[in-house]
Structure 1
Amino acid sequence: MSESATTREQICLMAKSMFDRGLTHGSTGNLSVRLSDGTLLVTPTGSSMGFLDPARISHLSVQGELLSGDRPTKEIPLHTAFYETRHSAGAVVHLHSCHSVALSLLPEIDPDNVLPPLTAYGIMQLGKVKLLPFFVPGDPAMGDAVRGLAGRRSAVLLANHGPVVAGRDLAAAVHAMEELEATARLALLLRGTAATALNPDQIARIVERYDVDWI
């Protein structure tokens, strides 16, 4: 089986897994994978991640031209911005996951690091997650905002919209996205309590041991 065919099947499998577990709903969310030749496979616009057809996945050239499949998601500027600024990125996942969106609405969160340091894996898989302002869906300015981070973050949270995560491959990006949503859920569950988060020394040890980008 070719790289494209295998990746198309993987996209549909991963997307359906997230859909079936309620991490995305309706026709929300999108994901992309960069193939070895630099072209992209992207979920089509208006499609449900629970019912993707491998043959209809959008295939884009390096220049962003549609080579085959349906029209790509209108959020393609988010995806290309990560690929342009994080050369290690092999996949990008964007969801409208409930707890992450809810966290983006809270006035007390730190816009430079929206996730409280509750678990080691949240730090290991995500580093610091930047809160970006609200953009109308599909606005190319979203991509500009990601480019403005100059590749320093692998994950961002769009205010009133949802998270975007880049990973070395699709599995890594999906797992990191799931960790982001789980940490956001924990943060909401613990809101207003005296929960014991990781202290600066513990965070520093995790960052050093796992070579985490903590900028």
Structure 2
Amino acid sequence: MSGPREELAAAGAHLAGLGLSPGASGNLSIREDDRVLITPTGADLAALDPEDLSELDVTGRHVAGPRPSKEFPLHTAFYRRDLETRAVVHLHSRQATALSCLPPWSERSAIPPLTPYFVMRVGRTPLLPYAEPGDPGQAGRLEELAFAFRAVLLQNHGPVTAGASLQAAVDAAVELEETAALLLLLGRQEPRLLDEGQAGTLARRYGTHWGTDG
């Protein structure tokens, strides 16, 4: 019977197999009660060893295993701001990272409501200003944002998604990458978007966040 360690290793292999984790980039975590399992620093997501993961508490204190990814503050910030979050995925996937180098669509979401599946699986995705990888100040800004969200783009860096399950966080990362690819494909053309009513209805129905909700 597989547990959270095996679940994390399988998710890493899946994302790497999709080409969303080049080299030794990206990091994943899963929370069990007051403990967080996270991929070690420099880990290859394609070849994670379930028995060789880092273990933290929700404050970010290292309690067991190898040294964690330097990006652990982003993960623990998501866990602290929303107790329903059980997993976090951070990637350097090509299309979403490219989009993070462009101006955001709005103050609350770098990405517009281009497709129903983006709203259903990801929802609004604020752009966090640039900081060096692992900067705890950036994680602090994420934690303090006054509106609800389950994903962010790190400026000139890449996406971070969270979910009530590891599968939900993975699905959001994949959908965010696909939406970014569509936006880049459209280029300077003005796309037709879902209107606020359409996006809001989907967000309420599928438990994501859009519009002016809290």
Q: Provide the TM-score with structure 2 as the length reference.
A: 0.91
Quote the residue 1:45 is aligned against.
41
Unpaired runs of 5+ residues, structure 1, are: none
1:66 Cα deviation after fit: 3.0
Aligned ranges for residues 22-171 of structure 1 at < 5 Å?
22-35=19-32, 37-107=33-103, 109-150=105-146, 152-171=148-167
CA 159–111 in structure 1, closer or farther in 2 if over 3 Å, else same: farther
- How many residue pairs get aligned? The number is 211
Matches of 1:142 and 1:108, distance apart in 2: 17
Deviates more, 1:146-155 or 1:202-211: 202-211
Kindly report structure 1 stretches of 4+ aligned residues shifted beyond 4 Å. none
Question: For residues 23-59 of structure 1, what are the alpha-carbon distances to aligned partners after superposition, in whole Å with 9 as ceiling and x for unaligned?
Answer: 1111110011001x31010000011111111111112
Once residues 211 and 12 of structure 1 are traced to their aligned partners in structure 2, the CA distance between those partners, rounded to angstroms, is 27
Structure 2 CA distance for aligned equivalents of residues 144 and 88 of structure 1: 19
Are residue 10 (structure 1) and residue 16 (structure 2) matched?
no
CA distance in 2, matches of 1:52, 1:25: 14
Say if 1:116 and 1:187, in contact at 8 Å, map to a contact too. no
Tell me the SS of whatever aligns to 1:137: coil
CA distance in 2, matches of 1:166, 1:18: 15
2:26 partner amino acid:
G
Unaligned runs of 5+ in 2: none
Quick one: distance in 2 between partners of 1:110 and 1:186? 18
Asked if the contact 1:31–1:94 (Cα under 8 Å) also holds between the matched residues in 2, the reply is yes
Structure 1 residue 108 displacement after superposition: 6.1
Identity of aligned residues (%): 45
One-letter amino acid of the counterpart of residue 130, structure 1: P
- 1:122 Cα offset (Å): 0.5
Q: Secondary structure of 1:34's partner?
A: strand
Counterparts of 1:206 and 1:63 in 2: how far apart (Å)? 33
8 A Cα contact 2:103 2:110, kept in partner? no
Note the C-alpha offset of 1:111.
4.0
Alpha-carbon distance in 2 for matches of 1:75, 1:107: 23
Does the 8 Å CA contact 2:60/2:72 hold for their aligned counterparts? no
Question: Is residue 85–residue 151 contact of structure 1 (8 Å, CA) maintained in 2?
Answer: no
- CA-to-aligned-CA distance 1:148-170 (integer Å, 9 cap, x gap): 21461111100000111110011
TM-score by length of 1: 0.91
* 2:18 paired with 1:21: yes
Give distance in 2, aligned partners of 1:107 and 1:65: 35
